[in-house]
A and B are shown apart, each in its own frame.
Chain A
Amino acid sequence: MTLFFEQTLNGLQFGVMLFLMAAGLTLIFGIMGIINLAHGSIYMVGAYAGTLVITETGSFLLGVPAALAVAAITGIVMEVAVIRRLYRRDHLDQVLATFAIILILNQAITIFFGRQPLFAPMPDAFSGSVELLPGLFYPVYRLVIILVGLAVAAGLYILINRTRIGMLVRAGSTNRDMVRALGVDIRMLYTVVFALGALLAGLAGLMAGPVLAVQVGMGEQILITTFVVVVIGGVGSIKGAFYASLIIGVVDTLLRAYLPGLLRQFMVGSEADALGAGISSMGIYLLMALVLLARPKGLFVADS
């Protein structure tokens, strides 16, 4: 039972990391109509910036603003220089252009940092583990990730539902032309939304630093799962992204943890392990297919 609880926590932790990525992606996709493949690259840039500052200064606290600022600035530059030209183009052009950004940023990182993965040191305050239940020791850092993710979700909820910017964002995702007709500077709004999405991706990258390897191409690994989250949650819906991230995180983790064991009841050990691994890596895509069958627009359609 403690093992199940621990695996659920692991799933939640994976889920909130996905949420930080998906929140930005779904906003950008839903409000601006842009398929931003380079969102993962911003995650990578944030991770590198954070790791660089943390290893140079030895202070995790300094790494936080560095990662967030660099990610947000990268986002703004990307929006102003490239994305702005793509709003009226079709999705194929957007995919091509943002794919090009992936290649450029990956190569730039390779030139500056080399191909060897980096590793951000764990902040001392969070390096131990705590006993949550008798016999269940859970790393503090992963608990911190969960808490930060939930706090960001709450903050976004307030921002979107209780502030003027949030109102414009919601309006923009429902009817772009009407918002523009009412005299709102939609260009500015787009830049702000893009920067916010980039900031969240940078935060995810920063927090991933001490757990995962900081390496070229790390963004592409998480990007596909993030798109699955966005589709399941409903394009443009932060609420949908939140629930979908947690569902995907928990489902993926539990499938990985328990499916081989279940299959071993019916078949030989090593075959069950291999088949279980295969099916569990398909799991989230099957889930996506099922959700789309039942609700073609995702679980939560934006502001319906």
Chain B
Amino acid sequence: MSLIRFAAASAIALAAASAAQANEPVKIGMITTLSGPAGYLGQDIRDGFQLAIDAEGGTLGGVPVTVMVEDDALKPGNGRQIADRFLNNDGVKLFTGIVFSNVAGATVPDIVDNGAIYVSPNAAPSNFAGKECHENYFVVSWQNDSLHESAGQNASNLSYSNAFVLAPNYQAGKDAIAGFKRFFKGEIVGEVYTRLDQTDFAAEMAQIRDAKPDVVFQFHPGGLGISFLRQYQQAGLLETVPMVVAEPSMDGVILNAVGDAAIGINVSSHWNADFDNPANKQFVAAWNKAYDRPITYYASQGYDTALAIASALRATGGNLHELDAFREALRKADFQSVRGDFAFGPNQHPVQDWYALKVVAGEDGKPVLKTGEKILDDHSDAYVAECSL
């Protein structure tokens, strides 16, 4: 922390000396999930974001920043309280960090309606992409549905004719199943909503075995996904029923925990650690140098979010008083995303490519995600037409 302060202070001093415009550091409010079973999601977003700041030596787009991190503990009420405090007491005008859609649903409207900018590094529920889209609301990650549309397309490409789908009973879970169904051409033989705090999936395993589907699609982020996959394997289903998932159900941490059992699972994603572009190579190298834990797509989204914010800060010189100019600059997405092509669509959600990945045995014997063919090209989302921006 003191290093960051020192860097920020020296940056201010430099700016003051050269251009004689001593700026206060720009405050960035990061509300994210750091405690509980999903704590590693927010931790990776936070640390990925910080990597981009460290790479510049303490600034974003040449502008000194202070990142204020608070833990929402996956409780929508907490998220909202923190946002209120940041807005009213600390005068924060720029927010990011929320991992879960239920927290975003309670917190984001408060932020954007009070004249602050929110840039999402993860959660992007369907309602905010369509009718309730807002000029202050940007998404760097994906729209929830798109993530699973890619899985639906992947399942269709792999020519499965029927699927059993499962997701937790909350907004992102419903978005997941809607997204999958939109792009899956086969039949749905079973649709099960689990609980967000569920740990035992034995009942669901029995239902899957009974339905004998061609393929299982499931969305269980974080610790949920680990329990689900292990129990899927223990029930003997992994050998008999293949699985198609989107990235959240098979991130680097889940892969690490599940191990060899995951080999053969089909994943679809907008980013993978093996993407061959200079920005990604730099990011992965920096991550492995800084942290002794698996890299996840959450970290990549935290990093990209910081880069996006940096592009707008650079263009406006860190001036958040003229929001029109800031939004204009952010909308251009003038940065090199670690995932390759990236642009904002009219509803300020990403337009990007999606790839099929597969879990294979890596060189050192540990399973890794390997990128395969492109599934969707310049894909935006299903709600963009409903947005009036």
Contact = CB atoms under 8 A, between A and B. Distances in A.
B35 A217 contact: yes
B169 A119 contact: no
Contact of B206 (A3, A110, A129): A3
Contact of A117 (B34, B174, B177, B253): B253
B40 A115 contact: yes
Given A114-B293, A117-B223, A273 B37 contact: no
A14 interface: yes
Contacts of B227: 211-213
Most interface-central of A115, A119, A142, A212 (chain B CB within 10 A) = A115
A253 interface: yes
Interface string B36-70: 11011001000000000000000000000000000
A256 B204 CA distance: 8
Contacts of A14: 200, 202
Given A211-B231, A221-B199, A106 B35 contact: yes
A117 B226 contact: yes
A274 B174 contact: yes
Nearest to B174: A274
B274 interface: no
Most interface-central of B223, B236, B253, B259 (chain A CB within 10 A) = B223
Contact of A213 (B192, B204, B226): B226
Contact of A257 (B206, B226, B234): B206
B213 to A, nearest CB: 15
B319 interface: no
Contacts of B336: none
B156 interface: no
Contacts of A3: 206-207, 210
Given A7-B206, A14-B200, A211-B231, A216 B37 contact: yes
Interface of B is mostly: helix
A135 B293 CA distance: 42
B332 interface: no
Interface residues of B, number: 41
User: On chain A, which size bracket covers the interface?
Assistant: 35 or more
Interface string A245-260: 0000000011011001
B169 to A, nearest CB: 4
A3 B224 CA distance: 24
A213 B223 contact: yes
Interface string A164-199: 000000000000000000000000000000000000
Contact of A281 (B35, B169, B223, B226): B169
B257 A117 contact: yes
The 8 A-B pairs at the shortest CB distance, nearest first, are namely A277-B193, A10-B202, A217-B36, A115-B39, A115-B40, A213-B226, A213-B223, A277-B169
11 contacts: A17-B200, A110-B39, A116-B293, A117-B40, A117-B257, A211-B231, A260-B192, A273-B192, A277-B193, A281-B169, A281-B195
